A and B are shown apart, each in its own frame.
Chain A
Amino acid sequence: MIRSTTLRRFGLGVVLTSVLALVSDPVAASNAAVGLAGASQDNLSVPRWLYLATGGATVGASALLASFVTDRRFIERVHLWRTTTGFSDSLVSVFRATGSLLGLVLLALVVYLGYTGPQVPTVSFAIILVFAGLRAGYTMFTYLVADTWRALNPWRTVATVVPNGFVSYPDRLGRWPAVFGILALVWVETATNVTSRPKTLATALVGYSAVTLVGAILVGADTWFDRIDPVSVFLHFYGRVAPIRLDDDGLSVRLPGMRLVTDDDMTDLADIAVTVVLVWELTFSGFVTTEQGAAAIRAAVDVGVPPLVVYGLLYLGGFGVFFGLYVLAARVTARRIDTFETPLSLAVRFAPPLLVIAAGYHLAHYFGFFISLSPMLAEALMSPLSSPANPLVLTLPAWFGALNIVFILFGHLFAVWVAHSQAYRTFPSRMQAVWSQFPFVAAMILYTIISLWLISLPTATPPFI
């Protein structure tokens, strides 16, 4: 039998080689033979279909490689590994109080400066903080390090100090309100000018605050922020990928993504829908900002369909397709495997890997954006009341584009391992554990190909909005 360390090294080697082969630039292999430089300067040009097929095959091959690891004890050791540190109660309350205060101050500043500050997006504190800060940087922090939104959330801070919980929330609704909430927020972000007009953003925030506070006071802060509030659910789901968790017991560190295997806190179809929304919203915004996407929308509008209807159909239809594909994978698995698990229970168990995929996409879409705007964000946070005369933006080197491919592929590779561990937890037979993953891996390969295709296209401004 092959030893697992050898297997791991072999697997890692294959993965790294394939990633390097995908992103490497032959010119980078410079050497002392300057006289031959002219002969070796041509870049290797790979047709797009081959680049996409290689990306898909990398995910498929890594799923096959993962299936070679059949030692239950090794798999359990990986996902159960943890180290914990306790905090004193006073330190926890200091963290909480600081977080609450910071959240309230930032919300007040965003709304105040949104109305009174300069109406230019690149110097507006409100726009920079919400989009470069919360949407890009803080979301990355949430899945790469730890979820701290519970302490920071200003609406929760307010809602918990007043009497709340007057109406009981029907359990059967689950997290469906959050699914539609996230879809609605992304729609507002794409189709209105909140990203360019600070006043509109401030008004949207005031409206959001009113709805959130009334809702949280009516159904109770815990229920509202756990199930209904789109921003909290969005960050909470991303936070489950993070290696660090801070709670009343202190700080615990796990390997990245491994909480997804053991924390069974997904229960129904709505939770699966939330994870699919996280993957889909990034794919959608990726599509409408490419030249091909814009051309497709223009073509549909030329036929006579109103632009907003085209966007709406694409947005909800695409979500339906992604969701349907995933449910189909669960059905195929349930039919092909001798088990009493229902398609729903399998879908619930295999949904968490999608969160790692979503984190990889988010990083691919926002990392470059965040790094180039980070000086602007730092300046805005240090002196919120004085707008900079010359906002500083970093220019990214060309190889940053290759990082996006690495982020997407690594997200998928982690997801393959999470699905592998989950399969071993679910099925008593190792052969069943191996076969059960393949329909899900097929869905993942399709998602990879779509994402790699989107990031390879030239970008454009979405038309008509």
Chain B
Amino acid sequence: MTTDTDAPRDRHLCETCTEAYPTARLLVLHRGARHPDALDATEIEAYREAYYEEERELKSFRIRALGVLVLLYFGFLMLFIMYAS
């Protein structure tokens, strides 16, 4: 897969598959998800931390998404009441 190799940014390389990531956190998440057997103890700890941090972000995203779904539901309910006859 083509990646943008000329980007003037920090490159965090995965030592198992040489894939590059722009931040250390993304590299930690990548190694945890793709090469779980190649991690040492500190990496496992870092992955766990990054994973739970992301879990919190996901939780807040889910609440917002649920809000949008509720709005869509009631919004369409109102539209159907007003315009469908």
| A60 partner, pick from B27, B29, B72, beta carbons under 8 A | B72
Is there contact, CB below 8 Å, between A57 and B76? yes
Chain A residues, Cβ within 8 Å of B58? 70, 430-431, 434
Is there contact, CB below 8 Å, between A44 and B21? no
Is there contact, CB below 8 Å, between B85 and A339? no
Please provide the chain B residues from 69 to 85 with a CB less than 8 Å away from any CB of chain A in the complex: 69, 72, 76, 79-80, 83-85
Chain A residues, Cβ within 8 Å of B23? 338
Query: What size tier do the contact residues of chain B reach?
Result: 20 to 34
| A430 partner, pick from B2, B22, B25, B54, beta carbons under 8 A | B54
The answer to whether residues A344 and B65 also contact, given A46-B84, A50-B79, A431-B57 and a CB cut-off of 8 A, is: no
Q: Mark A430-453, 1 if CB is under 8 A from B, else 0.
A: 111010000000000000000000
Chain A contact residues, CB within 8 Å of chain B? 44-47, 50, 53-54, 57, 60-61, 64-65, 67-68, 70, 72, 264, 338-342, 344-345, 348-349, 428-432, 434
Q: How far is the CB of A198 from chain B (nearest CB, A)?
A: 48
Is there contact, CB below 8 Å, between A340 and B33? no
In the complex, which residue of chain B has the Cβ closest to the Cβ of A431? B57
Is there contact, CB below 8 Å, between A428 and B72? no
Chain A residues, Cβ within 8 Å of B83? 46-47, 50
B44 at the binding interface (Cβ < 8 Å): no
Is there contact, CB below 8 Å, between A341 and B29? no
In the complex, which residue of chain A has the Cβ closest to the Cβ of B34? A428
In the complex, which residue of chain B has the Cβ closest to the Cβ of A426? B1
Is there contact, CB below 8 Å, between B79 and A428? no
| A64 partner, pick from B22, B69, B85, beta carbons under 8 A | B69
- Give 7 nearest A-B pairs by CB, closest first: A428-B30, A428-B29, A340-B3, A46-B84, A345-B2, A342-B4, A64-B65
| A338 partner, pick from B26, B76, B79, B84, beta carbons under 8 A | B26
| B3 partner, pick from A50, A341, A431, beta carbons under 8 A | A341
Q: How far is the CB of B25 from chain A (nearest CB, A)?
A: 8
Q: How far is the CB of B78 from chain A (nearest CB, A)?
A: 11
In the complex, which residue of chain A has the Cβ closest to the Cβ of B59? A1
In the complex, which residue of chain A has the Cβ closest to the Cβ of B27? A428
Give Cα A312–Cα B64 distance, bound, in whole angstroms. 45
Task: Offer 13 A-B interface pairs, CB within 8 angstroms, sorted by A.
Answer: A45-B85, A47-B83, A50-B83, A57-B76, A61-B69, A61-B72, A64-B65, A64-B68, A342-B3, A345-B2, A428-B34, A431-B58, A434-B61
Chain A residues, Cβ within 8 Å of B57? 431
In the complex, which residue of chain B has the Cβ closest to the Cβ of A70? B58
In the complex, which residue of chain B has the Cβ closest to the Cβ of A343? B4
Give Cα A187–Cα B47 distance, bound, in whole angstroms. 55
Q: How far is the CB of B64 from chain A (nearest CB, A)?
A: 10
Contacts beyond the supplied A46-B80, A61-B69, A61-B72: 17 A-B pairs with Cβ under 8 Å: A46-B84, A53-B79, A60-B72, A65-B69, A68-B65, A338-B22, A339-B21, A339-B26, A340-B5, A341-B3, A342-B3, A349-B1, A429-B25, A429-B54, A431-B57, A431-B61, A432-B26
